[in-house]
Amino acid sequence: MTPVALTIAGSDSSGGAGIQADLKSFAALGVYGASAITALTAQNTTGVSGIHPVPAAFVTAQIDAVFADLDVGAVKIGMVAQAETIAAIADGLTRWTPRHVVLDPVMVATSGDRLLAAEAVDALKAQLFPLASLLTPNLPEAAALLNEPVASSEADVERQGKRLLALGCRAVLVKGGHGHGAESTDYLIDAERSIALAAPRIATSNTHGTGCSLSSAIAAGLAKGEAMETAVRNAKAWISDAIAAADRFAVGHGHGPVHHFHKYY
């Protein structure tokens, strides 16, 4: 059986993040990708100039069309934009009960542009967190979700991870890319344990779509039947290589994309 993953997210017109990055990640890791688009964005490597949300009823139609025909092994949720879309996604996933849901709480783009309406944050926590097998916030997103300062120590990261678990998700991966030091350390936290996953910090400005691609890579691993820890470890190794290869590209004038297909060219 061909492994299938579904991304529910926004479209990036410049191709480096969002739906485009998700589908590239799935393909690079040997998984067939389907998509349900929540919003169109006018953006490039320097920023976001416009957001056009897709009507919630049409988000529902896309989700239903995919699940009615494809054997979806895992779902990745990225940019959801607004409360109405969150409700549509929650209803759809409750009906179709996918085995794995990776929720990337996309709030701000790499460029600094806001991608989630402030009034939709509570809906995200109340409706989608309880459906998530894994939540993948970066350090600023974890802090914003909890109305706390950004964690500055391992103890703070673990405490914030436990607080996020209490909101209903089954596991949390707090990403350390926004931290400092020679290593970028992510923390995989569930009810039983906290696992530190370190990798060398790579000096590059080409990081557009990094979070989208990591969460999609985890979903790809889950769709292939990998256990959660294995999927996270494999995805982190893959995204580290994709970031290391990013400077092979000369794309745009801002934060360029990572190299999803670094193994192939």
**pLDDT tens for the chain, residues 1 to 265:** 899 999 999 999 999 999 999 999 999 999 999 999 999 999 999 988 999 999 999 999 999 999 999 999 999 999 998 899 999 999 999 999 999 999 999 876 655 555 666 778 899 999 999 999 999 999 999 998 998 999 988 999 999 999 999 999 999 999 986 556 667 899 999 999 999 998 888 888 888 999 999 999 999 999 999 999 999 999 999 999 999 998 888 888 989 899 999 999 9
pLDDT at 184: 82
pLDDT at 177: 63
Domain presence at residue 211: yes
Which residues lie below 8 Å from residue 7, measured CB to CB, with a gap of 6+?
19, 22, 23, 26, 33, 34, 35, 36, 75, 76, 77, 78, 216, 219
Residue-wise pLDDT tens digits, 232-247: 999 999 999 999 998 8
Structure token digits, residue 252: 């745009």
Active-site residue numbers? 175, 207, 209-212
* Boundaries of domain holding 65: 4-248
175 touches 214 (CB < 8 A): yes
Domain presence at residue 255: no
DSSP codes joined into one string, 176-224: -TTS-SSEEEEEEEESS-EEEEEEEPP--S--BTHHHHHHHHHHHHHHT
pLDDT at 202: 85
Query: Could you tell me which of 208, 203, 123, 199 has the C-alpha nearest to residue 167?
Result: 123
Domain presence at residue 75: yes
Domain presence at residue 233: yes
Domain presence at residue 184: yes
Phi then psi for residue 260, to 5 deg, are: -60, -35
How many other β-carbons are positioned within 10 Å of the β-carbon of residue 194? 15
Domain presence at residue 261: no
258 touches 204 (CB < 8 A): no
pLDDT at 178: 59
CATH (domain of 161) = 3.40.1190.20
Amino acid symbol at 124: L
pLDDT at 182: 66
pLDDT at 189: 96
Rounded Cα distance between 175 and 121, Å, is 19
Residue-wise pLDDT tens digits, 133-178: 999 999 999 998 998 999 988 999 999 999 999 999 999 999 986 5
pTM value surpassing 0.75:
yes
Q: Give the chain's domain count.
A: 1
Q: Which spans in the chain are helix H? A: 18-28, 56-69, 83-96, 121-123, 139-146, 154-165, 210-223, 228-244
Domain presence at residue 231: yes
Query: Could you tell me which of 22, 51, 160, 183 has the C-alpha nearest to residue 111?
Result: 51
Domain presence at residue 179: yes
